[in-house]
Chain A
Amino acid sequence: MPPPTTLVVDNGSYTIKAGFGSSSPSYDDVYLIPNCIARTRDRRSLVGTQLETARDFGGMAFRRPVEKGYLVNWEAEKEIWDRAFLETDSPVHADPHETRFVLTEAPNAPLSLQNNCDQMVFEEYEFAEYYRCVAPSVIPWAPTLFPPAPHPAEAALVVDTGFSHTHIYPTLFGQPWNLGVRRIDIGGKFLTNYLKELVSMRTWNMMEEPYLISQVKEAVCFVSTDFSADLEKCKRLRTVDNPLVRDYVLPDYNTYKAGFVRPHGKRGDDEQVMVLANERFTVPELLFNPADVGVKQAGVAECVIQSLEMVPERYRPLLLANIVLTGGNAAIPGFQERFEKELRPMAPVEATVRAMVPEDPVKYTWLGAAHMANDESFIKKRTVTRKEYMEHGLVWAQKTMAGEDVRGGGETIKESSLEKERRENRSHKKRRVGE
């Protein structure tokens, strides 16, 4: 019998997206918990949601348990999880013994980290059931792609661009196409740091203000659809005539006023203003041209093509027409337009290129995972109960979660109609090859 509650956690490197599963999950069920321990100027440590109580973000330093997208430091993560999942006043508080725990991780995680994670979940937290899945692999279950929710979408090419890195993740029939998974080491953190560097060199010294700069980034940055024209504009036009220039009024932590953005113009008497021009679009430009700072990798659109080279040719048009852009960077204005504009000339002429940005790209993976948790036939095969873990051990549990049939033929689970269809498709193809 499955446990009564399902706790779905998308453990991102910037925020944890956590919420309980239900028969019809929605964005409102998700709680965002900053996945960090912050230290303020006066040397207080703030864990997870406590960060929201801070009023002075000046000179704040961060310790993040998730390093380069992978959960590394359990000492810090335990502190954050304890407060989020075990404290009774938390909105996602759960009794682990009666909870099914669905957790996401980044693709291609080192085995030693997966071992650590599984051991912590079963031995320290003692969740009753557990499924660790790769974050973009749950996207096929997310709504709006294909309306019938319990079945995974036939094809989806997920571009997951998060805080630490960007992944291109093709999925076919709900299964990841592992040969085509590609990573670009550019993420939100990289962009923030780049903006910090540019701003510090040109206007105010912001090297110690990562929090403020990430706010500035979210407020002013956009992806340019015509990069060289915009750059030209910023050079040729005077600042006052340039429609691209924005003023960011810096927060004054004495009166607790938050910073905000406004068009360039006259400034008030006691305001400190940061003027931003080409920084607004040269920063997100790194996602499309990592080589601009010397990172020897391809941009997002080009990387999609690299990924598709590893996918059988007949599936390529299908994937190109079903691209999903998720993760925090997908919310940058203009990202989708630029992405389609760059991808179009590289894709085959006859193929449709269609990219979708969900309503809330940050919470979308969570939504996918919550819908996947409702797909009983699938989740039953993959989850491991605590009892099974104690009986069969770590390796067995990991094989089950990876989708290998180690439970033996004893309990054959009825294959879903989609899988059946897929098998028929395949035999059909075999026949055709035979001819």
Chain B
Amino acid sequence: MPPTVEVLPKSTTISGANWTYTTLPPAHAVSGGLPASTGGRGARNRHSNFENTAARQRQINSRISDLEKDNYRETHIPLPKKENNRGRISRYEILSSTLYRALNVRRILLSQKTFVNHLADEEALHPTAVRARRSSSAEPGAEGDMEFEKAEINECAIDDEESSGPPLGYARAVSRPSRRPSRTFCEICGYWGNYRCGKCGARYCGLECSGVHQETRCQRMYG
């Protein structure tokens, strides 16, 4: 079984007892590969264990956040101007008149919060597993940790009236890491990436793709 808690050497992560600053992409910051603490062990093994270095982790994380983007560049797309509709009189215009609009609605419409902000709010209000366990006020089956739940499951259905408790919340509902060994792919042609560039760590499948990589893609001049 792969480790679920990863020790990353010399990352830009600073952490305390139960808080962390992290450079992880937002979806993973609250859960997923949250670095638990920093340590010097990996730094010594950097050359033999490239995949686990902080630098590699940063590469992966920035790639994941790239893949989660809507647009390639950051753009602000304004709403179309209202003049287009001026010819028509519709409920839509009556409703959107400022007179009609409640204070709450105005606040919601003007809110510039992103999903990450909302998630942080949620986290502050309802701390997830790690902290809930410490506060010891955990309800069985709802706030406790995974092992605790497992024991509870079978009784849950018998005693419980309605269902298996309230929703887990965003952070705790995330899937655990896969148990399978990881695979690597050639960055040039997509075949298995059995070899690694000594300079930048990119994967390739053989001599041919290595040549292409060295000539055009390798980002580091000196390894």
List A contacts of B178 (CB < 8 A).
Answer: 289-291, 296-299, 302
Minimum C-beta distance from B28 to chain A (A): 7
Contact B153 A179 (CB under 8 A): yes
- A62 CA / B75 CA spacing, docked (Å): 9
A354 within 8 A of B: no
Look across to chain B and name the residue whose beta carbon is closest to the beta carbon of A184: B175
Look across to chain A and name the residue whose beta carbon is closest to the beta carbon of B101: A124
Look across to chain A and name the residue whose beta carbon is closest to the beta carbon of B163: A175
The residue from B66, B191, B192, B205 contacting A193, defined by CB atoms under 8 A apart: B66
Contact B185 A282 (CB under 8 A): yes
List B contacts of A242 (CB < 8 A).
Answer: none
Contact A107 B175 (CB under 8 A): no
List B contacts of A47 (CB < 8 A).
Answer: 79-80
List B contacts of A134 (CB < 8 A).
Answer: 167
Contact B164 A179 (CB under 8 A): yes
Contact A289 B183 (CB under 8 A): yes
The residue from B80, B101, B168, B179 contacting A179, defined by CB atoms under 8 A apart: B168
Complex interface residues of chain B between 39 and 83 (CB less than 8 A to chain A): 60-61, 63-64, 66-73, 75, 77-80
A395 within 8 A of B: no
The residue from B109, B157, B168 contacting A75, defined by CB atoms under 8 A apart: B109
Look across to chain A and name the residue whose beta carbon is closest to the beta carbon of B171: A108
Contact A110 B108 (CB under 8 A): no
- A116 CA / B106 CA spacing, docked (Å): 11
List A contacts of B173 (CB < 8 A).
Answer: 107-108, 181-183
Contacts A72-B113, A112-B118, A235-B189 hold; do A210 and B72 have CB atoms under 8 A apart? yes
Contact B166 A111 (CB under 8 A): no
Contacts A62-B71, A189-B68 hold; do A110 and B121 have CB atoms under 8 A apart? yes
Contacts A112-B121, A198-B190, A296-B177 hold; do A119 and B105 have CB atoms under 8 A apart? yes
List B contacts of A208 (CB < 8 A).
Answer: 72-73
Minimum C-beta distance from B164 to chain A (A): 4
Look across to chain B and name the residue whose beta carbon is closest to the beta carbon of A47: B80
Contacts A112-B121, A193-B68, A235-B189 hold; do A70 and B115 have CB atoms under 8 A apart? yes
B17 within 8 A of A: no
Residue from B108, B153, B185 with most neighbouring chain A CB atoms (10 Å): B108
Look across to chain B and name the residue whose beta carbon is closest to the beta carbon of A164: B68
A303 within 8 A of B: yes
Contacts A64-B70, A108-B168, A112-B121 hold; do A123 and B105 have CB atoms under 8 A apart? yes
Minimum C-beta distance from A126 to chain B (A): 8
Complex interface residues of chain A between 93 and 114 (CB less than 8 A to chain B): 95, 107-113
The residue from A112, A207, A282, A311 contacting B153, defined by CB atoms under 8 A apart: A311
- A410 CA / B101 CA spacing, docked (Å): 35
Contact A63 B190 (CB under 8 A): no
List A contacts of B69 (CB < 8 A).
Answer: 193
List A contacts of B113 (CB < 8 A).
Answer: 72
List A contacts of B158 (CB < 8 A).
Answer: 426, 429-430, 433
- A110 CA / B174 CA spacing, docked (Å): 14
The residue from A125, A179, A289 contacting B165, defined by CB atoms under 8 A apart: A179
List A contacts of B90 (CB < 8 A).
Answer: 86-88
Contacts A124-B95, A175-B162, A312-B154 hold; do A67 and B115 have CB atoms under 8 A apart? yes
- A89 CA / B63 CA spacing, docked (Å): 43
The residue from A68, A86, A279, A302 contacting B92, defined by CB atoms under 8 A apart: A86
Minimum C-beta distance from B120 to chain A (A): 9
- A61 CA / B72 CA spacing, docked (Å): 8
Look across to chain B and name the residue whose beta carbon is closest to the beta carbon of A181: B173
List A contacts of B61 (CB < 8 A).
Answer: 294
Contact A296 B28 (CB under 8 A): yes
List B contacts of A110 (CB < 8 A).
Answer: 118-119, 121-122, 170
Contact A295 B64 (CB under 8 A): yes
Complex interface residues of chain A between 177 and 204 (CB less than 8 A to chain B): 177-185, 189-190, 193-194, 197-198, 201-202
- A338 CA / B78 CA spacing, docked (Å): 42
Minimum C-beta distance from A321 to chain B (A): 18
- A202 CA / B170 CA spacing, docked (Å): 36
Minimum C-beta distance from A345 to chain B (A): 12
Complex interface residues of chain A between 418 and 433 (CB less than 8 A to chain B): 426, 429-430, 433
The residue from A86, A295, A298 contacting B91, defined by CB atoms under 8 A apart: A86
Contact A61 B75 (CB under 8 A): yes
Contact with A along B94-122 (1 / 0, CB 8 A): 01100001101100111101110011011
A177-B164, A178-B166, A178-B168 known; 8 other A-B pairs, CB under 8 Å?
A: A37-B79, A113-B118, A179-B141, A181-B167, A190-B67, A235-B205, A294-B60, A310-B150
What are 5 A-B pairs with beta-carbon distances under 8 A?
A: A61-B77, A110-B170, A112-B118, A297-B177, A315-B157
Enumerate chain A interface residues (CB-CB to B < 8 A). Answer: 37-39, 44-47, 61-64, 67-68, 70, 72, 74-76, 78-79, 82-83, 86-88, 95, 107-113, 116, 119-120, 123-125, 134, 168, 172, 175-185, 189-190, 193-194, 197-198, 201-202, 207-208, 210, 231, 234-235, 277-279, 282, 289-299, 302-303, 306, 309-313, 315, 403, 426, 429-430, 433
